[in-house]
Amino acid sequence: MNLSSTVDTAASYFSRELLAWYRMSKRTLPWRQNREAYRVWVSEIMLQQTRVDTVIPYYERFMNRFPTLQALAEAPEPDVLKHWEGLGYYSRARNLQAGAREVMERYGGQVPDDKAAVSALKGVGPYTSGAIMSIAFNRPEPAVDGNVMRVLSRYYNRDEDIAKPSTRIGMEKLAASLIPEGAAGDFNQALMELGALVCTPRTPGCLTCPVMIHCAGRLAGRETELPIKAKAKPPKPQARLAAIIEGTGEHAGKVLIRQRPDSGLLASLWELPHVQLDEPAVKPRGRAAKLAAAAEPPVERQAEDAAELLQRLQAESGLRVVARRWHAAEEHTFSHLHWMMRVYVAELDTGASRAVWPAGLRQAGALPTEVAQQPAIIAAESAAPYSSAESSAPNATDEPDGYRWIGRNQMRDYAFPNLFGKILYDYWDATGVEEGGV
DNA sequence: AAGACGGGGTC
DNA sequence: GACCCAGTCTT
């Protein structure tokens, strides 16, 4: 071998060995049945920030319901959201469908074999466009995600902060230079497969790694300290009060839910009516604090909460809600928020005769005087609709815009974020309502 | 450059 | 509890 012209550099070694390893040991995954661009696209969107094991059942259901790009483009959006329920980052679902519709209109239903056109689709950023171009069309484009940055940081012993956008740019150049001729799709997947199976975040399996002997990070003994990544800001704590509003009369056995605005957090999903408290926001630390936060609050606190729910839901949503009893405390952490929610079972106040506070709360004497005396009397002018609905406050028979009375069986007709789905199912379990019941 | 945007798994 | 994950969009 002529070492001067065919030097087996760490780079060519890496690409060759990694590719061979992948072709030998790649996992069988639903989206690897074929390389149809639509299937690749759906999988890549679902896999953003989401584990393979989590995605698999969602992918199967989604492709069963929307087997073609056209089927997705023509589906009602709530149907698409329902199939995304629980996956999180719901704008992915909306953007995916918007992209499918765009492909129908502009490209006759065929995903274009064109980097710029694919990159311009909604929800398709640098990573996803590279993944689609390489996997579906075998174009030599880099697809750099967290896995790839981890693998390359270690293999090349690089110290750049992978949280910085500029680092991703550099990694893309590096990754592009490593793509073997004619094998972009397999190589990019090999890089990610290695990161998922061997070069894992905590305890990399260097001894089974196909490229260990030239891994600079490993040779420097730094495999566990790489990649360098700036710490994320902790989620901001928020205290909230939610109401499980039980229906009466024709709505007996049902509860009132509402639809969130069509942008922002949990856009267009359904939820329990609730309010954000101004205060608190002290995240419970330690076992004792945790226990205290989960426990039923003292009656004074419950009375304050009841008054708060009545006044604020009236003001924000036009709902006159009377808390009847404690239900549960629920915590839920988003990427940037930490919700601490106290949940009460409540009733809609549809008239003075029904406006009776629970005896325990009244006797506790903790209610503001004016509220304790006349809980139902809140200035009607102060009522503001929750989401641009111009309707008046719902009574026992109304279903104003954005609100629905539903029983357990109607849960399947609405997409709920996990936290509210859990609260509602817990509620129905506790009240003895089973599937097929109401 | 920083923040918004979910949820679940792991050690 | 802290960190991570097959990222993108908005400001």
A229: in domain: no
Element (H, E) at A330: strand A321-333
Same domain (yes/no): A191, A242: no
Assigned token pair, A172: 């893309």
- Measured CA to CA, the distance from residue A428 to residue A438 in angstroms comes to 10
Could you check: is the Cβ of residue A87 within 7 Å of any atom of nucleic acid strand B?
yes
**Across chain A, which distance is largest between two alpha carbons, in Å?**
97
Same domain (yes/no): A306, A402: yes
Instruction: Kindly provide the b/e burial profile for residues A23-54, where b requires at least 16 CB atoms within 10 angstroms of the residue's own CB.
Output: eeeeeeeebeeeeebbbbbbbbbbbbeeebee
Could you check: is the Cβ of residue A126 within 7 Å of any atom of nucleic acid strand C?
yes
Same domain (yes/no): A31, A73: yes
On chain B, which bases lie within 7 A of the protein's CB atoms? 1, 3-11
Sign of CA dihedral A142, A146, A151, A156: positive
Which stretch of A88-92, A180-184, A384-388, A432-436 has the lowest confidence by average pLDDT?
A384-388
Instruction: Residue A288: give its domain's CATH number.
Output: 3.90.79.10
Same domain (yes/no): A260, A152: no
Same domain (yes/no): A371, A289: yes
- Measured CA to CA, the distance from residue A156 to residue A215 in angstroms comes to 7
Number of domains in chain A: 2
Q: What is the mean pLDDT of residues A79-105?
A: 96
The percent of residues above 90 in pLDDT, for chain A, comes to 75
**Burial class for A5, CB neighbours closer than 10 Å (0-12, 13-18, 19+):** exposed
- Measured CA to CA, the distance from residue A63 to residue A57 in angstroms comes to 10
pLDDT digits (tens, 9 = 90+) for A161-213: 999 989 999 999 999 999 999 999 999 999 999 999 999 998 999 999 999 99
Same domain (yes/no): A328, A381: yes
pLDDT over 80 (residue A5): no
**Burial class for A348, CB neighbours closer than 10 Å (0-12, 13-18, 19+):** buried
Q: What is the mean pLDDT of residues A241-247?
A: 96
Q: What is the mean pLDDT of residues A134-154?
A: 96
What does DSSP assign to residue A328? E
Same domain (yes/no): A242, A194: no
The radius of gyration of chain A's CA atoms, rounded to the nearest angstrom, is 27
A411: in domain: yes
Last residue of a domain, one of A192, A219, A246: A219
Whether residue A78 is preceded by a cis peptide bond, meaning omega within 30 degrees of 0, is no
Q: Greater confidence, A236 or A433?
A: A236
Residue A140 C-alpha from the chain's centroid: 31
Give residue numbers, 6 to 45 of A, with CB < 7 Å from strand B: none
Could you check: is the Cβ of residue A264 within 7 Å of any atom of nucleic acid strand C?
no
Residue A328 and residue A345 in contact, taking contact as beta carbons nearer than 8 Å: no
Last residue of a domain, one of A164, A187, A219: A219
Q: How far is the CA of A142 from the C1' of B4 (A)?
A: 26
What does DSSP assign to residue A247? B
Residue A307 and residue A367 in contact, taking contact as beta carbons nearer than 8 Å: yes
A435: in domain: no
Could you check: is the Cβ of residue A29 within 7 Å of any atom of nucleic acid strand C?
yes
Same domain (yes/no): A243, A114: no
pLDDT at A437: 61
- Half-sphere exposure of residue A52, counting CA atoms within 13 Å on the CB side? 12
Same domain (yes/no): A212, A338: no
Q: How far is the CA of A113 from the C1' of C3 (A)?
A: 37
Task: List the domain range (segments joined by +) for residue A355.
Answer: 236-430
Which residues, 6 or more positions from A215, have their beta carbon under 8 angstroms from its beta carbon? A154, A155, A206, A209, A223
Same domain (yes/no): A212, A244: no
- What amino acid occupies position A369? T
Residue A224 and residue A158 in contact, taking contact as beta carbons nearer than 8 Å: no
Same domain (yes/no): A157, A249: no
Using CA atoms, how far residue A15 sits from A25, A154, A176, A194, in Å, is 15, 15, 11, 12
Q: Greater confidence, A4 or A151?
A: A151
Angle between helices A52-65 and A77-84 (to 10 degrees): 150
Give residue numbers, 386 to 405 of A, with CB < 7 Å from strand C: none
Q: How far is the CA of A127 from the C1' of C10 (A)?
A: 18
Residue A315 and residue A309 in contact, taking contact as beta carbons nearer than 8 Å: no
Per-residue confidence band for A10, with pLDDT thresholds at 50, 70 and 90: confident
Instruction: Residue A93: give its domain's CATH number.
Output: 1.10.340.30
Last residue of a domain, one of A191, A219, A247: A219
Same domain (yes/no): A160, A262: no
Residue-averaged pLDDT of chain A: 86
